[in-house]
Amino acid sequence: MRWFLAFALCCSGCVFKLRSVDAGAGGDDFGGVADLGVGGDDLGDGDMAVAEPGDLAEGPDLATPLLTLSHVPQHYLTDGTCDLVVTTSIDTASRKVDGSDVPAGCIFADETETGGLLVAVLAAHSVVFNGNVVVTGSAPLVVVSGTTISVNGAVDASAKGATAGPGGSGTLTATGKGPDGAHDGASGNCQNNNSCADSGGSGGSFGTVGGIGGVGSFSGNNTPAQTASTTYGDNLLTMAVPGGASGGNGSSEACNNKNGGSGGAGGGSIQLSAGTSITIAAGGSIDVGGGAGGGGCMPNAFDEGSGGGGGSGGAIFLESRTVTVAGGLWANGGSGGGGASGTGTAGGAGNNATVSTTTAAAGGSSGGAPYGGVGGVGFAGMTGAGKGGEGGTPTPVANGGGGGGGAGRIVVRSHGAATLSLSVSPMAALDPSIP
């Protein structure tokens, strides 16, 4: 009795609750011990998602495990504490959002992915894209939100002509660069005998192969048949998310430093990672299309250039437990430029990639028959990158058109099936394995 009274006096004000130890499935914490940290689970039953009646006295189990980030360190998921709204621009070089430094609580920092790919990581508690947002800079953009990311407007990270999107035409895209056009002047100096031929540059490759440049042929001089570049990056972009590859330059006797039309640049790279959900609204989109190849130069009647190849589309990587895409995801290829004529007309430039599943970027126009070939179309939907033109009958052209750019890559990771609209090109690779 004395020991009981002493214990009661020492613990006056204490509240006690007797709890039984769980036995088997559906049991509670062993001995009433609280769950351990994030994602902790009851000891002994192994369940991760369902809260049990006995848990209510100590707080329910965490129903949603934290997302495990791809490519960048896990701490970025909780580093950002601000709620960020983006309306006009993001620059991965200057680390500016809408022209200013990020607000307090947001992080915008350099990080290195596997393979040495330098990326710019923008971390926040939540992120909303409103209006038309243009993304520029040399590094790919990685946006990490601890909760949600909503895209209500157009996010444009595409290439424009020879200007790459963020992370496009970088070192990890080298295998996808289209081969440059070739020059053949076996009969001597073109300006003396007008007997030269230039093949067009081939289009850049990434998720699909770019179109080959058109062969040049004139008065018995023939350039070697052009070749295509190779694709790169695995289907799920597990190691890194590089941008698109550039198309090859055209060729010429002397103009544009003997490059003919310039190759189009590769589309950019965007990764969105959100702890809870990603939503691309019906009026929202992300575009990482490739750039247009340049038209063959024409400084005089004896120096006609061939067209440059189009750039490939870049990369879009989305990951969250819930991913809903009601709008568009675009990683199409730019088209090749046309070859110049021998009548004083330069070849027409190609076109930047379209945002369409049915309409490909049209190739650049010929500088004129019979010497200039048209550019090849860029990849879009079910239309593969086109070969550069080589002229018609009976006389082959002297200056080939550039090949069209290939498709980029789109990858979506989610918990179970993601919801995607039909406005996606190329087809997305889906990974439903997020726990």
Residue-range domain boundaries for the chain? 1-63, 66-435
The percent of residues in the chain predicted with pLDDT above 70, rounded, is: 79
Q: Is the pLDDT of residue 16 over 60?
A: no
Q: Are 305 and 347 in contact (CB under 8 A)?
A: yes
Q: Which residue has the higher pLDDT, 19 or 331?
A: 331
Rounded Cα gap, residues 360 and 348, in angstroms: 17
Q: Is the pLDDT of residue 352 over 80?
A: yes
Lowest-confidence region among 75-79, 290-294, 395-399: 395-399
State the pTM of this model: 0.84
Residues 196-223 have a mean pLDDT of: 88
CA atoms within 13 A on the CB side of 186: 11
**Residue 362: closest CA among 396, 387, 336:** 336
Average pLDDT, the chain: 84
pLDDT given at position 371: 79
Rounded Cα gap, residues 400 and 217, in angstroms: 8
pLDDT, tens only, 138-193 = 999 999 999 999 999 999 999 999 999 999 999 999 999 999 999 875 544 555 54
pLDDT, tens only, 246-265 = 999 999 888 888 889 999 99
pLDDT given at position 28: 36
Residues 221-243 have a mean pLDDT of: 90
pLDDT given at position 14: 40
pLDDT given at position 25: 38
